[in-house]
Protein backbone atom coordinates (compact mmCIF):
# COMPACT_ATOMS: atom_id res chain seq x y z
CA UNK A 1 0.00 0.00 0.00
CA UNK A 2 2.87 2.34 0.63
CA UNK A 3 3.92 1.85 -3.02
CA UNK A 4 0.45 2.96 -4.14
CA UNK A 5 0.66 6.05 -1.92
CA UNK A 6 4.11 6.77 -3.25
CA UNK A 7 2.84 6.24 -6.86
CA UNK A 8 -0.01 8.68 -6.25
CA UNK A 9 2.36 11.16 -4.63
CA UNK A 10 4.66 11.13 -7.67
CA UNK A 11 1.68 11.87 -9.96
CA UNK A 12 0.59 14.83 -7.85
CA UNK A 13 1.78 18.40 -8.36
CA UNK A 14 2.19 20.63 -5.31
CA UNK A 15 0.27 23.91 -5.26
CA UNK A 16 1.29 27.03 -3.41
CA UNK A 17 -0.37 27.66 -0.09
CA UNK A 18 -3.34 29.98 -0.46
CA UNK A 19 -2.66 31.94 2.67
CA UNK A 20 -0.21 32.24 5.53
CA UNK A 21 -0.01 29.18 7.70
CA UNK A 22 -1.87 26.96 5.21
CA UNK A 23 -0.29 23.72 4.21
CA UNK A 24 0.56 22.95 0.60
CA UNK A 25 -2.08 21.00 -1.25
CA UNK A 26 -1.39 18.29 -3.77
CA UNK A 27 -3.17 18.11 -7.23
CA UNK A 28 -2.93 15.05 -9.48
CA UNK A 29 -0.83 15.56 -12.65
CA UNK A 30 -3.77 14.62 -14.88
CA UNK A 31 -5.95 17.42 -13.48
CA UNK A 32 -3.04 19.87 -13.65
CA UNK A 33 -2.44 19.05 -17.34
CA UNK A 34 -6.17 19.44 -18.02
CA UNK A 35 -6.23 22.86 -16.34
CA UNK A 36 -3.18 23.99 -18.33
CA UNK A 37 -4.77 22.75 -21.58
CA UNK A 38 -8.01 24.59 -20.78
CA UNK A 39 -6.08 27.79 -20.00
CA UNK A 40 -4.23 27.56 -23.30
CA UNK A 41 -7.50 26.91 -25.14
CA UNK A 42 -9.11 29.89 -23.39
CA UNK A 43 -6.14 32.09 -24.34
CA UNK A 44 -6.44 31.00 -27.99
CA UNK A 45 -10.17 31.73 -27.99
CA UNK A 46 -9.56 35.12 -26.38
CA UNK A 47 -6.91 35.91 -29.00
CA UNK A 48 -9.29 34.95 -31.83
CA UNK A 49 -12.05 37.08 -30.30
CA UNK A 50 -9.65 40.02 -29.92
CA UNK A 51 -8.57 39.65 -33.54
CA UNK A 52 -12.22 39.51 -34.66
CA UNK A 53 -13.02 42.63 -32.59
CA UNK A 54 -10.08 44.54 -34.08
CA UNK A 55 -11.10 43.52 -37.60
CA UNK A 56 -14.72 44.48 -36.96
CA UNK A 57 -13.64 47.90 -35.68
CA UNK A 58 -11.43 48.45 -38.74
CA UNK A 59 -14.24 47.38 -41.06
CA UNK A 60 -16.65 49.74 -39.30
CA UNK A 61 -14.15 52.60 -39.62
CA UNK A 62 -13.72 51.88 -43.35
CA UNK A 63 -17.50 51.78 -43.79
CA UNK A 64 -17.83 55.12 -41.97
CA UNK A 65 -15.20 56.71 -44.23
CA UNK A 66 -16.90 55.33 -47.36
CA UNK A 67 -20.27 56.63 -46.18
CA UNK A 68 -18.81 60.09 -45.52
CA UNK A 69 -17.18 60.14 -48.96
CA UNK A 70 -20.41 58.99 -50.63
CA UNK A 71 -22.41 61.62 -48.79
CA UNK A 72 -19.91 64.31 -49.75
CA UNK A 73 -20.11 63.22 -53.41
CA UNK A 74 -23.91 63.15 -53.25
CA UNK A 75 -23.92 66.75 -52.04
CA UNK A 76 -21.26 67.76 -54.54
CA UNK A 77 -22.84 66.15 -57.60
CA UNK A 78 -26.55 66.25 -56.69
CA UNK A 79 -27.35 68.54 -59.63
CA UNK A 80 -25.71 66.36 -62.26
CA UNK A 81 -28.94 64.85 -63.63
CA UNK A 82 -30.62 68.24 -63.69
CA UNK A 83 -27.63 69.77 -65.48
CA UNK A 84 -27.66 67.02 -68.10
CA UNK A 85 -31.30 67.86 -68.83
CA UNK A 86 -30.51 71.58 -69.14
CA UNK A 87 -27.57 71.23 -71.54
CA UNK A 88 -29.70 70.63 -74.67
CA UNK A 89 -31.70 73.77 -73.86
CA UNK A 90 -28.52 75.83 -73.62
CA UNK A 91 -27.32 74.29 -76.89
CA UNK A 92 -30.54 75.27 -78.62
CA UNK A 93 -30.35 78.82 -77.31
CA UNK A 94 -26.73 79.13 -78.49
CA UNK A 95 -27.65 77.87 -81.95
CA UNK A 96 -30.51 80.35 -82.13
CA UNK A 97 -28.22 83.16 -80.98
CA UNK A 98 -25.54 82.29 -83.55
CA UNK A 99 -28.01 81.99 -86.46
CA UNK A 100 -29.69 85.36 -85.89
CA UNK A 101 -27.69 87.79 -88.01
CA UNK A 102 -30.51 89.94 -89.36
CA UNK A 103 -30.49 93.56 -88.27
CA UNK A 104 -34.22 93.32 -87.59
CA UNK A 105 -33.51 90.54 -85.07
CA UNK A 106 -31.20 92.66 -82.91
CA UNK A 107 -33.65 92.76 -80.00
CA UNK A 108 -34.15 88.99 -80.20
CA UNK A 109 -30.40 88.44 -80.33
CA UNK A 110 -29.89 90.66 -77.28
CA UNK A 111 -32.65 88.79 -75.43
CA UNK A 112 -31.03 85.47 -76.26
CA UNK A 113 -27.64 86.79 -75.10
CA UNK A 114 -29.14 87.80 -71.75
CA UNK A 115 -30.94 84.46 -71.41
CA UNK A 116 -27.71 82.58 -72.13
CA UNK A 117 -25.86 84.71 -69.59
CA UNK A 118 -28.51 84.03 -66.93
CA UNK A 119 -28.37 80.30 -67.71
CA UNK A 120 -24.58 80.32 -67.46
CA UNK A 121 -24.62 82.26 -64.19
CA UNK A 122 -27.23 79.91 -62.74
CA UNK A 123 -25.19 76.84 -63.64
CA UNK A 124 -22.01 78.45 -62.27
CA UNK A 125 -23.71 78.77 -58.86
CA UNK A 126 -23.80 74.97 -58.80
CA UNK A 127 -20.17 74.64 -60.00
CA UNK A 128 -21.23 73.71 -63.55
CA UNK A 129 -18.90 75.34 -66.04
CA UNK A 130 -18.49 75.14 -69.79
CA UNK A 131 -15.53 73.58 -71.56
CA UNK A 132 -14.76 75.80 -74.57
CA UNK A 133 -11.22 74.86 -75.69
CA UNK A 134 -10.63 76.95 -78.84
CA UNK A 135 -6.88 77.26 -79.61
CA UNK A 136 -5.96 74.82 -76.84
CA UNK A 137 -4.30 71.41 -77.27
CA UNK A 138 -6.72 68.52 -77.82
CA UNK A 139 -7.33 66.56 -74.60
CA UNK A 140 -9.26 63.30 -75.08
CA UNK A 141 -10.31 63.39 -71.42
CA UNK A 142 -12.34 66.57 -72.05
CA UNK A 143 -12.79 66.75 -75.84
CA UNK A 144 -14.36 64.60 -78.52
CA UNK A 145 -12.81 65.09 -81.94
CA UNK A 146 -15.38 65.12 -84.72
CA UNK A 147 -12.92 65.76 -87.54
CA UNK A 148 -9.41 66.90 -88.37
CA UNK A 149 -8.60 69.76 -90.70
CA UNK A 150 -5.23 70.64 -92.22
CA UNK A 151 -3.93 73.87 -90.71
CA UNK A 152 -0.35 74.75 -91.68
CA UNK A 153 -0.20 77.74 -89.31
CA UNK A 154 -1.21 75.78 -86.16
CA UNK A 155 0.50 72.93 -84.32
CA UNK A 156 -1.03 69.49 -84.76
CA UNK A 157 -3.84 68.50 -82.39
CA UNK A 158 -4.95 72.04 -81.63
CA UNK A 159 -8.67 72.68 -81.24
CA UNK A 160 -9.66 75.05 -84.03
CA UNK A 161 -13.45 75.02 -83.63
CA UNK A 162 -15.96 73.96 -81.01
CA UNK A 163 -19.08 72.40 -82.51
CA UNK A 164 -20.73 71.81 -79.12
CA UNK A 165 -19.47 73.09 -75.77
CA UNK A 166 -18.64 70.59 -73.08
CA UNK A 167 -19.50 70.96 -69.40
CA UNK A 168 -17.96 70.00 -66.06
CA UNK A 169 -19.45 69.86 -62.58
CA UNK A 170 -16.68 70.44 -60.04
CA UNK A 171 -13.95 68.12 -61.34
CA UNK A 172 -16.25 65.63 -63.11
CA UNK A 173 -16.98 65.85 -66.83
CA UNK A 174 -20.69 66.03 -67.67
CA UNK A 175 -20.21 66.12 -71.42
CA UNK A 176 -17.07 66.40 -73.55
CA UNK A 177 -16.69 69.33 -75.92
CA UNK A 178 -17.19 68.24 -79.53
CA UNK A 179 -14.40 69.81 -81.51
CA UNK A 180 -12.58 70.07 -84.82
CA UNK A 181 -8.83 69.51 -84.47
CA UNK A 182 -5.92 70.69 -86.60
CA UNK A 183 -3.47 68.38 -88.27
CA UNK A 184 -0.26 68.85 -90.15
CA UNK A 185 -0.81 69.03 -93.92
CA UNK A 186 0.23 65.96 -95.80
CA UNK A 187 2.89 66.53 -98.43
CA UNK A 188 2.45 65.04 -101.90
CA UNK A 189 5.60 63.52 -103.30
Rounded distance between C-alpha atoms, residue 113 and residue 107, angstroms: 10
pTM higher than 0.85: no
Spell out the domain ranges in the chain: 2-75, 80-183
The domain made up of 80-183 has a fold known as Nucleotide Exchange Factor Grpe; Chain A, domain 2 (2.30.22)
Question: 23-48 pLDDT, tens per residue?
Answer: 446 678 888 889 999 999 999 999 99
Contacts of 113 (CB under 8 A, 6+ apart): 97
Question: 136-155 pLDDT, tens per residue?
Answer: 999 999 999 999 998 888 88
Amino acid sequence: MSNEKQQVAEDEVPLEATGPGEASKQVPQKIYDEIVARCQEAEQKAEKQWDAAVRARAELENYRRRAERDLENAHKYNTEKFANEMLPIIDSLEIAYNTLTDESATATREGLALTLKMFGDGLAKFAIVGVDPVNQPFDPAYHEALSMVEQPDLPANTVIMVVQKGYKIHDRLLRPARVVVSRIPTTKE
